[in-house]
Chain A
Amino acid sequence: MEHFDMALVDWSRAQFALTAMYHWIFVPLTLGLSFIVAIMMTIYVRTGNELWKKITKFWMTLFGVNFAIGVATGIILEFEFGTNWSNYSWFVGDIFGAPLAIEGIMAFFLESTFIAILFFGWGRVSKKFHMISAWMVALGSNLSALWILVANAWMQNPVGMRFNPDTARNEMVNFWEVLFSPTAINKFLHTISSGYVLSAIFVVGVSAWFLLKHRNVEFAKKSMIIAAVFGLLSSFYLVLTGDESARDIYHTQPMKFAAFEGLDDGNVSAPLVVIGFLKEVPDPRQPDVDRFAFKIEIPNLLSYMVALNSNVFVPGINDLINGNEKHGIMSYYEKIDKGKLAIKALGDYKDALERKDQVAAAENLKVFEANYAYFGYGYYDDPNDLVPNVPVAFYSFHIMVILGVHFMILFIVILVLLYKKKIEKTRWVLYVALWTIPLAYIASQAGWILAEMGRQPWVVQDLMPTLSAVSNIDKSSVVVTFWIFAVTFTVLLIAEIKIMVSQIVSGSKNEGGH
Chain B
Amino acid sequence: MFENLSYLALQQYWWMIVSLLGAILVFMFFVQGGQTMIKSLGKTDNEIKMLVNSLGRKWDLTFTTLVTFGGAAFASFPLFYSTSFGGAYWVWMLILFAFIIQAVSYEYRTKADNFLGAKTYETFLFINGLLGTILVGTAVATFFTGSEFLVTNMNYSIWQSPFRGLELAFNFARYETFINLSLGLAVFFLARVLGILYFFNNIEDETILARARKQLLFNALPFLVFFLFFLINVLFMDGFGYDANGVVSMVPYKYFNNLIEMPLNTVILVLGVVAVLWGIYRGAFHYEKCGTKAIWFTGGGTILTVFALLILVGFNNTCFYPSTSDLQSSLTIQNASSSKYTLVAMSYVSLLVPFVVAYIWYAWSSLNKKPITAKEMEDDHHAY
Q: Indicate if the CB atoms of A495 and B104 lie closer than 8 Å.
A: yes
A476 smallest CB distance to B (angstroms): 10
Q: Indicate if the CB atoms of B104 and A502 lie closer than 8 Å.
A: no
CB-contacts of A231-270 with B (<8 A): none
Q: Indicate if the CB atoms of B113 and A502 lie closer than 8 Å.
A: yes
A275 smallest CB distance to B (angstroms): 40
In the bound complex, residues from chain A placing their C-beta under 8 Å from that of B154 are 168, 350
CB-contacts of B54-88 with A (<8 A): 57-58, 60-61, 63-64, 66-72, 74-76, 78-79, 81-87
Q: For the complex, what is the distance from the CA of A484 to the CA of B94, rounded to whole Å?
A: 11
Tell yes or no: A93 within 8 A of B by CB: yes
In the bound complex, residues from chain B placing their C-beta under 8 Å from that of A471 are 82, 86-87, 89
Q: CB < 8 Å: which of A129, A171, A484 contacts B341?
A: A171
Q: For the complex, what is the distance from the CA of A171 to the CA of B69, rounded to whole Å?
A: 21
Q: Indicate if the CB atoms of A76 and B100 lie closer than 8 Å.
A: yes
CB-contacts of B87-140 with A (<8 A): 87, 89-90, 92-93, 96-97, 99-104, 106-108, 111-116
CB-contacts of A73-129 with B (<8 A): 73-76, 78-79, 81-87, 89-90, 93-98, 100-106, 108-117, 119-122, 124-125, 129
In the bound complex, residues from chain B placing their C-beta under 8 Å from that of A83 are 85-86, 89, 92-93, 96
Q: Which residue of B lies closest to A468 (CB)?
A: B156
Stretch touching chain B among A206-214, A449-457, A486-494 = A486-494
Q: Indicate if the CB atoms of B103 and A87 lie closer than 8 Å.
A: no
A97-B78 contact in complex given A68-B108, A117-B363, A498-B114, C-beta closer than 8 Å: yes
Tell yes or no: A169 within 8 A of B by CB: yes
Q: Indicate if the CB atoms of B96 and A94 lie closer than 8 Å.
A: no
Tell yes or no: A409 within 8 A of B by CB: no
Q: Which residue of B lies closest to A102 (CB)?
A: B349
Stretch touching chain A among B157-165, B188-196, B202-210, B236-244 = B157-165
Q: Indicate if the CB atoms of A68 and B68 lie closer than 8 Å.
A: no
B89 smallest CB distance to A (angstroms): 5
In the bound complex, residues from chain B placing their C-beta under 8 Å from that of A495 are 104, 108, 114-116
In the bound complex, residues from chain A placing their C-beta under 8 Å from that of B157 are 86, 90, 472
Stretch touching chain B among A41-49, A57-65, A311-319 = A57-65
Stretch touching chain A among B226-234, B280-288, B322-330, B365-373 = B365-373
Q: For the complex, what is the distance from the CA of A494 to the CA of B104, rounded to whole Å?
A: 12
A90-B116 contact in complex given A75-B100, A117-B363, C-beta closer than 8 Å: no
Q: Indicate if the CB atoms of B349 and A121 lie closer than 8 Å.
A: no
In the bound complex, residues from chain B placing their C-beta under 8 Å from that of A57 are 381
Q: Indicate if the CB atoms of A472 and B96 lie closer than 8 Å.
A: no
A505 smallest CB distance to B (angstroms): 9
Tell yes or no: A421 within 8 A of B by CB: no
A348 smallest CB distance to B (angstroms): 12
In the bound complex, residues from chain A placing their C-beta under 8 Å from that of B46 are none
In the bound complex, residues from chain B placing their C-beta under 8 Å from that of A473 are 86, 89, 159, 164
DSSP majority for the B interface? helix
Tell yes or no: B350 within 8 A of A by CB: yes
- In the complex, per-residue mask of B148-175: 1 if CB is within 8 Å of any chain A CB, else 0: 0000011111110010100000000000
Q: CB < 8 Å: which of B97, B159, B367 contacts A120?
A: B367
Q: Indicate if the CB atoms of A93 and B81 lie closer than 8 Å.
A: yes
Q: Indicate if the CB atoms of B99 and A75 lie closer than 8 Å.
A: yes
Q: For the complex, what is the distance from the CA of A417 to the CA of B101, rounded to whole Å?
A: 44
Tell yes or no: A358 within 8 A of B by CB: no
Q: For the complex, what is the distance from the CA of A461 to the CA of B102, rounded to whole Å?
A: 36
Q: For the complex, what is the distance from the CA of A160 to the CA of B111, rounded to whole Å?
A: 48
Tell yes or no: B346 within 8 A of A by CB: yes
In the bound complex, residues from chain B placing their C-beta under 8 Å from that of A117 are 363, 366-367
- In the complex, per-residue mask of A388-404: 1 if CB is within 8 Å of any chain B CB, else 0: 00000000000000000
Q: For the complex, what is the distance from the CA of A457 to the CA of B170, rounded to whole Å?
A: 39
Tell yes or no: B353 within 8 A of A by CB: yes
Q: For the complex, what is the distance from the CA of A89 to the CA of B70, rounded to whole Å?
A: 12
Q: Contact residue range for chain B? A: 35 or more
B92 smallest CB distance to A (angstroms): 5
Tell yes or no: A164 within 8 A of B by CB: yes
Q: Which residue of B lies closest to A125 (CB)?
A: B366
Q: CB < 8 Å: which of B66, B79, B86, B363 contacts A472?
A: B86
A477-B89 contact in complex given A79-B96, A105-B353, C-beta closer than 8 Å: yes
Q: For the complex, what is the distance from the CA of A251 to the CA of B171, rounded to whole Å?
A: 54
Q: For the complex, what is the distance from the CA of A168 to the CA of B162, rounded to whole Å?
A: 26
Tell yes or no: A286 within 8 A of B by CB: no
Tell yes or no: A503 within 8 A of B by CB: yes
Q: Indicate if the CB atoms of A71 and B342 lie closer than 8 Å.
A: no
Q: Indicate if the CB atoms of B61 and A101 lie closer than 8 Å.
A: no
Q: Which residue of A lies closest to B99 (CB)?
A: A75
Q: CB < 8 Å: which of B72, B113, B363, B370 contacts A104?
A: B72
Q: CB < 8 Å: which of A64, A74, A93, A114 contacts B382?
A: A64
In the bound complex, residues from chain B placing their C-beta under 8 Å from that of A443 are none
Q: For the complex, what is the distance from the CA of A472 to the CA of B104, rounded to whole Å?
A: 32
Q: For the complex, what is the distance from the CA of A49 to the CA of B361, rounded to whole Å?
A: 32
Q: Indicate if the CB atoms of B86 and A98 lie closer than 8 Å.
A: no
- In the complex, per-residue mask of B328-366: 1 if CB is within 8 Å of any chain A CB, else 0: 000000000011011001100110110010011001101
In the bound complex, residues from chain B placing their C-beta under 8 Å from that of A501 are 113
A264 smallest CB distance to B (angstroms): 37
B254 smallest CB distance to A (angstroms): 26
Q: For the complex, what is the distance from the CA of A130 to the CA of B92, rounded to whole Å?
A: 37
Tell yes or no: A173 within 8 A of B by CB: yes
Tell yes or no: B380 within 8 A of A by CB: yes
Q: For the complex, what is the distance from the CA of A73 to the CA of B346, rounded to whole Å?
A: 26
A44 smallest CB distance to B (angstroms): 15
A287 smallest CB distance to B (angstroms): 41
Q: For the complex, what is the distance from the CA of A116 to the CA of B356, rounded to whole Å?
A: 15
In the bound complex, residues from chain A placing their C-beta under 8 Å from that of B153 are 168, 350, 354
Q: Which residue of A lies closest to B62 (CB)?
A: A112
A82-B85 contact in complex given A124-B369, A172-B339, C-beta closer than 8 Å: yes
B34 smallest CB distance to A (angstroms): 16
In the bound complex, residues from chain B placing their C-beta under 8 Å from that of A506 are 112
Tell yes or no: A309 within 8 A of B by CB: no
Q: Indicate if the CB atoms of A86 and B341 lie closer than 8 Å.
A: no
Q: For the complex, what is the distance from the CA of A76 to the CA of B67, rounded to whole Å?
A: 10
Q: For the complex, what is the distance from the CA of A175 to the CA of B3, rounded to whole Å?
A: 14
Q: Indicate if the CB atoms of B86 and A86 lie closer than 8 Å.
A: yes
Q: For the complex, what is the distance from the CA of A260 to the CA of B74, rounded to whole Å?
A: 33
In the bound complex, residues from chain A placing their C-beta under 8 Å from that of B76 are 97, 101
In the bound complex, residues from chain A placing their C-beta under 8 Å from that of B90 are 477
In the bound complex, residues from chain B placing their C-beta under 8 Å from that of A426 are none
Q: List 6 A-B contacts (CB under 8 A).
A: A93-B79, A116-B363, A117-B367, A172-B345, A491-B115, A495-B115
Residue positions of B touching A, CB distance < 8 A: 57-58, 60-61, 63-64, 66-72, 74-76, 78-79, 81-87, 89-90, 92-93, 96-97, 99-104, 106-108, 111-116, 153-159, 162, 164, 338-339, 341-342, 345-346, 349-350, 352-353, 356, 359-360, 363-364, 366-367, 369-370, 380-382
**A76-B96, A110-B359, A496-B108 given. 9 additional CB < 8 A pairs?**
A64-B382, A71-B103, A78-B67, A86-B87, A89-B78, A98-B346, A473-B159, A488-B97, A499-B108
Q: Lowest 3 A-B CB distances belong to which pairs?
A: A86-B86, A93-B78, A82-B85
Residue positions of A touching B, CB distance < 8 A: 57, 61, 64-65, 67-69, 71-76, 78-79, 81-87, 89-90, 93-98, 100-106, 108-117, 119-122, 124-125, 129, 133, 164, 167-169, 171-173, 175, 350, 354, 471-474, 477, 481, 484, 488, 491-492, 494-496, 498-499, 501-503, 506, 514
